[in-house]
Amino acid sequence: MEITYNLFLVLHFVGLAGLLGGLLTQIPNKPKQLQKLVLHSAWLMFLAGVVMVGINQMMHADDPTVALLDHITVAIKSTVILLILVLGYLNIKKSVLSNKVWAIISALALFNVVIAVYR
């Protein structure tokens, strides 16, 4: 079960790399555009995170020494990813992504990393 958990953790990190990579590649571009890669990566992060929470619950049920995840952190991270997805889907069809929306999505992605590291 731990191997499966670690596999989904890797997928979660791949999603993070795609999300931040897709956003950061737009820094020099004028006008900015939202790439579909960003939304696909956000979905990958969200789905892998949900699966990881489920696997953690199953591992804890079998072995009480396995630490449970902090559900407040999970809720915060899930909300941030869902906000990124909502902003992304509201702006994916637009030919130009405003700097303000790009900055908000980028800040939310970085905030998600900070929450994961320090919470």
Q: What is the pLDDT of residue 22?
A: 94
Quote the CA–CA distance of 98 and 50 in Å, as a whole number. 31
pLDDT band at residue 66 using 50, 70 and 90 as cut-offs: confident
Quote the CA–CA distance of 2 and 5 in Å, as a whole number. 5
**Alpha carbon separation from 9 to 13, 14, 24, 28, 96 (Å, rounded):** 6, 9, 22, 31, 33
Q: What is the pLDDT of residue 70?
A: 86
8-59 pLDDT, tens digit per residue, is 999 999 999 999 999 999 998 888 899 999 999 999 999 999 999 999 998 8
pLDDT band at residue 2 using 50, 70 and 90 as cut-offs: confident
Residue 76 predicted with pLDDT over 90: yes
pLDDT band at residue 75 using 50, 70 and 90 as cut-offs: very high
Q: What is the pLDDT of residue 50?
A: 96
Q: What is the pLDDT of residue 7?
A: 97
Is residue 11 a contact partner of residue 44, using CB atoms and an 8 Å limit? yes
Mean pLDDT for the chain overall: 92
